[in-house]
Structure 1
Amino acid sequence: MANLTDATSLQQFEELFKKNSKSLTVVHFHAAWAPQCSQMNDVMAELAKEHKHTMFVKLEAEAVPEVSEKYEITSVPTFLFFKGGEKIDRLDGAHAPELTNKVQRLGSGGGGAARAGDVPKEDLNERLKRLINAAPCMLFMKGSPQEPRCGFSRQTVQILKDHNVHYSSFDIFSDEEVRQGLKTYSNWPTYPQVYVNGELIGGLDIVKELVESGELENTFPKTVSLESRLKSLINKAPVMLFMKGNKEVSELKCPLFLPFLSPETQFKRELNENGELASVLKGEN
């Protein structure tokens, strides 16, 4: 898709901004080792199909540190929203419904009047279907996991947390159309509502029943803990080096790691610093 691309360098990142300075640009700072980033890349791909006039950019945070440091990216996934060359919004974390809402709101000029030729408003049922499939586990609740606004939502959040369930949430108070429409769509009149793989599980009572029967563990997707992720990384090879940049000459970010380089790579680095690398590669010496 023409409006979905990768930025692999600072120069490419800046060129994309020049070409799309007048339209909304959404930048996803991601990492290959984070499964939630892969999930959000899929969400971005779907949004790109629906919002043809919005540019979606994927940028690996560790591969382009100049950009990540400039915008203070400290975790992934993180989304930045730009328009007119200026950063206008930010979203930290894998929150597919919130990303969708921001793209819709900011892409339409913040809710201004529709222009001639604009794409018609998305059918409500299609939107609801997309929302409940935005993540493997979706919780439609009153408020947010950080600030639940009813006792039932608070209890549901606590259960999911206690059982290490990985989920995304949608605040029904943020969209009255979704709040009312989902009741009819799923034939479930109350909130919270929990969905797994696009299928309605139920509300708090059903979640409690799953806990009591011992079936909850097999029903919901699990969060990969930081400890497990680190253990997987450090056991990836017999010897693992965690460093700034990578071991190629042009990418090395910190001189403290020079002793870990192979003799061949160190030799290339010395030639590069002396300005002799190009001539050696061409066979002039």
Structure 2
Amino acid sequence: MAALAEVGSAGHFRELLQQKGKSLVVVHFWAPWAPQCIQMNDVMAELAKEHSQVTFVKLEAEAVPEVSEKYEISSVPTFLFFKNSQKIDRLDGAHAPELTKKVQRHASSSTISAGRNDNAKEDLNVRLKKLTNAAPCMVFIKGSPQEPRCGFSRQMVEILNKHNIMFSSFDIFSDEEVRQGLKTYSNWPTYPQLYVAGELIGGLDIVKELEASGELDTICPKAHKLEDKYDALYLYFSSVL
């Protein structure tokens, strides 16, 4: 089995990202007490045999907390992908097929020129504009409304539901490009983020302030109650009969 590089400090981690000659670095944030992490280390070792040009690293998440906090590692296993010291992708969970697919894709991709990079940024902004306008009220959270993956996202969903606000959501863990790009696009560095008619309202603190002042009910569209639909149908049939 091919050996994996092991990082034991934040300084060692920085040095590893800055090394020359290997453009792609895959880092496994793991814990020795988690069986799924042990299994994924074996998967990483197999991938290292196939991709000699890629650096595969394991980093014990709890042993180097400053690195784990910087990259918002909230569970193990989590995999981060770096090129030229920049994080380009992320995978949460023990998904060997998805990890293999991501490694193959990033390892085979050529270096993007400056001109193409500008086009990529422009394309991302177009996509982010479409996402923020995908519904009258859009919330970008960690996880889903049914299963939020952080306390702040859970509170945001609870407030919106409490006020019977009609909203759609996007799981930022499902797309690393959106997760990082939206921070720059909206100039708002944290999640959750609430948008109405494509305009950023703010994060959880702002929404709580709007709730306390009563403005939230005037800003966000309300869901139609079932009885309202019945009333509308009654009025319609009354008019045509």
Q: What's the TM-score, normalizing by structure 1?
A: 0.41
Structure scoring higher RCO (CA < 8 A, sep ≥ 6) equals 2
TM-score in terms of structure 2 length: 0.49
Larger radius of gyration: 1
